[in-house]
Amino acid sequence: MYFLFLLSASAQLRWDAVPQSKYSDFLVGSKIEDYSFQASAGTTSLIDSKRLTVLMPYDMDCPIAKKLVPEILRLEKSFLKGGVRFLYLKINKFDNENEVAESFKGRGFLGQLCLDEKYQLKVDLKLRTSCEVLLIDSAATLIYRGAINDQYGIGFTRDKAKKHYLKQAIEMSLKHQLPEVRLTSAPGCLLDYEKSKSTKSTGSLTFHKDVSRILQSHCENCHRKDGVAPFELISYEQVKDRRKMIKYVVKKKLMPPWFAEAGGPWLNDCGLSESDKNTLLKWIDDDCPEGDETDAPIALKWESKWLMQSPDLVIKVPQKISIPAEGRIPYKNVYVRIPLKENKWVGALEIRSKQSQVLHHVLIMDDKSGSTKLNKRKFGGGTRGFFAGLVPGQSYTEYPPETGKILRGGSWLKFQLHYTPNGKAVMDEISLAIKFLDEPPKKQIRTVSAFNARFVIPPRTKNYVVKSKFKFPVKATVLAFSPHTHLRGKSFKYELLLPNGKKQMVLDVPNYDFNWQIRYILKTPLKVPAGSQMLCTATYDNSAENPANPNPNVSVRFGDQTEDEMMIGYFEGFLGH
């Protein structure tokens, strides 16, 4: 599982205003009971008889909450001296208080961090997500609740917000006027606000006996200390406090991130079986019984962030990469000369990043001519293939026995880097770790593609189809697939057209997600007769109904940047059977 615990509190995927008829369900317009709790500046109360109060949940790990930090800091600076105060409520019981305080301090907030020791306020206010804010006036009336703005949603970022819900609510309230929008959904990590029952085992399923083993197999690889996911899912407390979000993403098939519906079987299928899915959901519905610790599995040891312990060569990008706190960043291209005099055969490789939580993906292309003179035009945009790649949760590649890729000594590599800021400016360091083969392999691994760069997606078009094909001049063996589009990509499928005219579905991804550019590795290699064709079909949504769409009113063509589009059906294998 990974960072897509970023969903709205309802089925809505955006920040749409909620009808007035729903106000009372979420206490909007109601008088709020006062609370007293410990804060970073001493004991404080929820209600201030002279000022407006902005109350925000504080989840130090929520990805969308991190991205909102710069905007919150701007709001504090604008309104703190103008009759508004900002309170941040610790909401996760399992988070260490000192770590939370250190995190809060590090983000530079000017308001107060508050501790509700019994976590009752979260329940009484029916807090829905980690990014939901409440605006309460001096008479204890809940004026507004919902999103801060509409810049961030499920796995996508706008260059800037179009609607500033909280800012406008504060400005209207200071004039003693009601805001135009008073209730919205708020994308973020779903919170439990219902009172929990006993955690004693009342059924046969418990955390230690059943659920912990599912998490070890499907979640811990990313949701661990130093993992690429934003928070850990190791302990009972960590899992129980995020149960509502876990239930949501599992039922929606968003987590674990696996989107293939046909083809395979797959070697790296991280999806939940129906049995595991039912076990997890039933355990949550039974109110998460903890069970007996003696039933727990042996804890896994994650001793290193990297899977390759002793690489033969590490090729470092010479300069550090600066990533700002917010905004959409164009792709960065860096060229690095291979520090070898002779050619080498690669058996395994791993792309490493010091800031994995802001790195969306890396594509490394090699100059197949082997020239020691840099010619940037030879690399192109990687449409015809690549040397190595990194996507969230998949940075390590090991090739099958007796196969490998060639690394040409003295030539150049192009590192194409795509970052997604998370609210804090950082510097990244990128490197490629390589394990060489002792002798040349029998088969050379090649990554090629069926691509189409000659298309124009019309404005406001919901289902636009683009096709591409690749013809095999000789017999070959396919090992893996990597479909690639950008923000408007909706679905992607590969079909093998055999010389006798028969078609075979080899990969179908009906719900393509730009944030998860998964490499689908076949458990049984696909043997392709000479003369066969790999047919790829991608569907695009350039309508306003696509919340990730940067601009539904323009025609979209092929291009490198995220606001452009691509249609590349990468696949990997070798010649012969």
Q: What is the CATH number of the domain that holds 134?
A: 3.40.30.10
Angle at Cα 466 formed by Cα 446 and Cα 327, nearest 5°? 80
Residue 42 Rama label (left phi>0; alpha psi -120 to 50; beta): left
Interval 490-497 mean pLDDT: 97
More confident residue, 303 or 389: 389
For residues 402 and 440, give the distance between their C-alpha atoms in angstroms, rounded to a whole number: 8
Q: Is the pLDDT of residue 2 over 60?
A: no
Angle at Cα 110 formed by Cα 97 and Cα 114, nearest 5°? 35
Q: Is the pLDDT of residue 10 over 50?
A: no
Q: pLDDT-derived band of residue 197, with 50, 70 and 90 as boundaries?
A: low
pTM comes to 0.80
Indicate whether 8 belongs to any domain. Answer: no
406 and 486 together in one domain: no
Interval 146-157 mean pLDDT: 83
pLDDT of residue 327: 83
36 and 53 together in one domain: yes
Indicate whether 1 belongs to any domain. Answer: no
Indicate whether 562 belongs to any domain. Answer: yes
Domain count, the chain: 4
Q: pLDDT-derived band of residue 23, with 50, 70 and 90 as boundaries?
A: confident
Q: What is the CA radius of gyration of the chain?
A: 26
SS3 at position 244 = helix
485 and 516 together in one domain: yes
User: Are the C-beta atoms of 137 and 173 separated by less than 8 Å?
Assistant: yes
Residues spanned by the domain of 379:
313-443
Per the DSSP assignment, residues forming a β-bridge with 353 are 430
Q: Which tens digit of pLDDT belongs to each residue from 88-97?
A: 999 888 888 9
For residues 548 and 319, give the distance between their C-alpha atoms in angstroms, rounded to a whole number: 31
Which of 418, 443, 468 marks a domain boundary? 443
pLDDT of residue 486: 92
467 and 493 together in one domain: yes
463 and 540 together in one domain: yes
Q: Is the pLDDT of residue 188 over 70?
A: yes
Q: Which tens digit of pLDDT belongs to each residue from 228-257?
A: 788 889 999 999 989 988 998 899 888 888
Per the DSSP assignment, residues forming a β-bridge with 464 are 540
Cis geometry, peptide bond prior to residue 265 (ω within 30 degrees of 0): yes
User: Are the C-beta atoms of 54 and 211 separated by less than 8 Å?
Assistant: no
Indicate whether 191 belongs to any domain. Answer: no
63 and 149 together in one domain: yes
Question: What percent of the residues of the chain are helix, what percent strand, and what percent coil, each to the nearest 5?
Answer: 15, 30, 50
Indicate whether 184 belongs to any domain. Answer: no
Inter-axis angle of helices 243-251 and 274-285, nearest 10? 140
- Rounded to an integer, what is the distance from CA 90 to the centroid of its chain? 24
For every residue of 355-375, which 3-state class applies, written as one string?
Answer: CCCCEEEEEEEECCCCCCCCC
Q: Which tens digit of pLDDT belongs to each residue from 370-425?
A: 788 888 877 766 777 788 888 766 778 999 999 999 999 999 999 999 898 889 99
278 and 324 together in one domain: no
108 and 87 together in one domain: yes
pLDDT of residue 8: 33
SS3 at position 309 = coil
Indicate whether 92 belongs to any domain. Answer: yes
Q: Which tens digit of pLDDT belongs to each residue from 475-491?
A: 999 999 999 999 999 99
Mean residue pLDDT of the chain comes to 89
489 and 348 together in one domain: no
Token pair, residue 527, equals 């043997």
For residues 190 and 478, give the distance between their C-alpha atoms in angstroms, rounded to a whole number: 41
Token pair, residue 398, equals 């090991």
Q: Is the pLDDT of residue 13 over 80?
A: no
User: Are the C-beta atoms of 432 and 364 separated by less than 8 Å?
Assistant: yes
CATH number for 470: 2.60.120.230
365 and 397 together in one domain: yes
Give the burial class of 514: count Cβ atoms within 10 A of its Cβ; 0-12 exposed, 13-18 middle, 19 or more buried.
middle
Backbone angles phi, psi at 191, to 5 degrees: -115, 150
SS3 at position 479 = strand
Per the DSSP assignment, residues forming a β-bridge with 33 are none
More confident residue, 84 or 17: 84
For residues 123 and 442, give the distance between their C-alpha atoms in angstroms, rounded to a whole number: 63
387 and 485 together in one domain: no
- Which residue, among 363, 381, 380, 383, has the nearest Cα to 568 in the 3D structure? 383
pLDDT of residue 7: 35
In 319-467, alpha helices (H): none
Q: Is the pLDDT of residue 9 over 50?
A: no
Which of 443, 468, 485 marks a domain boundary? 443
Indicate whether 143 belongs to any domain. Answer: yes
For residues 525 and 265, give the distance between their C-alpha atoms in angstroms, rounded to a whole number: 10
Indicate whether 33 belongs to any domain. Answer: yes
pLDDT of residue 195: 54
Q: Which tens digit of pLDDT belongs to each residue from 96-151?
A: 899 999 999 999 999 999 998 888 888 899 898 999 999 999 999 999 999 999 98
Cis geometry, peptide bond prior to residue 256 (ω within 30 degrees of 0): yes
Q: Which tens digit of pLDDT belongs to each residue from 431-478?
A: 999 999 999 999 999 999 999 999 999 999 999 999 999 999 999 999
Which of 414, 443, 472 marks a domain boundary? 443
Interval 176-185 mean pLDDT: 92
Q: pLDDT-derived band of residue 14, with 50, 70 and 90 as boundaries?
A: low
For every residue of 23-35, which 3-state class applies, written as one string?
Answer: HHHHCCCCECCCC
pLDDT of residue 5: 34
390 and 267 together in one domain: no
Q: Is the pLDDT of residue 260 over 70?
A: yes
pLDDT of residue 356: 82
pLDDT of residue 307: 80
Per the DSSP assignment, residues forming a β-bridge with 361 are 418
pLDDT of residue 190: 87
